[in-house]
Amino acid sequence: MFSKNISVSMKKWIRNLPLQYKIQFFSIGGLLLLFIASVLMVNILTHNYNNLLFDSVSVSLNYANEDLTEKLDDVVQLSYTVLSDNFLQDSLIALQASSHGTQIADRYTEINSRLQSYYLEHQKEHISYISLYTPSISCHTNSKKAAELSSDEIELVIQNAKKAEGAAVWETSYADQHGLILAREIRQYNDLSLRSLGVLVICIDIQNMLNSCPMFAYYDSFYYVIEDKDRNPIYSTLETDYDFHKYLSDSPTGKYSLIKLDNRCFFALRGSLYSNGWKYT
């Protein structure tokens, strides 16, 4: 009853208004409705534009990670090429049969020259160096860089490669400070003896590999994290140890999220990298 009386009084008040005030009243009301509709339309258009922009960025970043996977595959293919090289096999077999210093020096020159030619032929910005370790000699395309690993670390890489019996082994323990290492044992195959001839090591500079991806060049700054299948960190450019796992899914398609941490807003993407269960963020 009370609300009905208010409604009647309001109608009576509007009817009694002068015509000038009625025109102003309805004009202001119309302008207010137009303003509200405009704000809503701008918000809708902005939201749709942001979604389109984020989808575009997501696609480009997924493409960049496909490029990284291809680069890692290229390194594996390079290792196949080196261990199946007939000239290198013959030189390594001759090295094992050499007993004099002159003979060993000649074999060293042959092997080192062959590695250098492979490095130059397949030279990429992300390949830091190629090394080959045998019981009697070790050859490097970049001795200074290879010497950053201690003798104990090198021995661990060699032993892990020998355990794999010719299969490719990724050593990730030194990725942040030294580089991502691919190691594999070279075995004699021409008479099917499969005896060990040495261990091949290819070191990848991950930061240079990221910088070589054209997609990443479009952004003033970006952070990249690589983890193994058990979520152990392999490489990270984050200054702070942010935990993105609870915000991001493990979707192989790389679903993006907008994340706010410590008053900072991140456009974050997570997905699969390479074929051995690694994840990127």
What are the start-end ranges of the H helices in the chain? Answer: 2-16, 19-83, 86-97, 101-121, 143-146, 151-163, 206-211
The answer to whether the beta carbons of residues 254 and 62 sit under 8 Å apart is: yes
d(C-alpha 110, C-alpha 180), whole Å: 27
Q: Over 60: is that where the pLDDT of 195 sits?
A: yes
> pLDDT over 90 for what percent of the chain?
16
Helix (H, G, I), strand (E, B) or coil at 176: coil
pLDDT tens digits, 148-172:
988 999 999 999 989 988 889 999 8
Greater confidence, 251 or 50?
Answer: 50
Q: Over 70: is that where the pLDDT of 45 sits?
A: no
What pLDDT is recorded for position 252? 46
Angle, helices 101-121 vs 86-97, to 10°: value is 160
What pLDDT is recorded for position 200? 94
Greater confidence, 219 or 93?
Answer: 93
pLDDT tens digits, 169-187:
999 888 888 889 999 998 8
What pLDDT is recorded for position 124? 73
pLDDT tens digits, 90-129:
888 888 877 677 888 888 889 899 999 989 888 776 899 9
Q: What are all long-range contacts of 258-265, with beta carbons under 8 Å and residues at least 24 apart?
A: 258/54
State the average pLDDT over residues 74-92.
89
Residue 92: name the closest of 38, 133, 61, 126 by CA: 133
Q: Over 80: is that where the pLDDT of 10 sits?
A: no
> pLDDT over 70 for what percent of the chain?
76
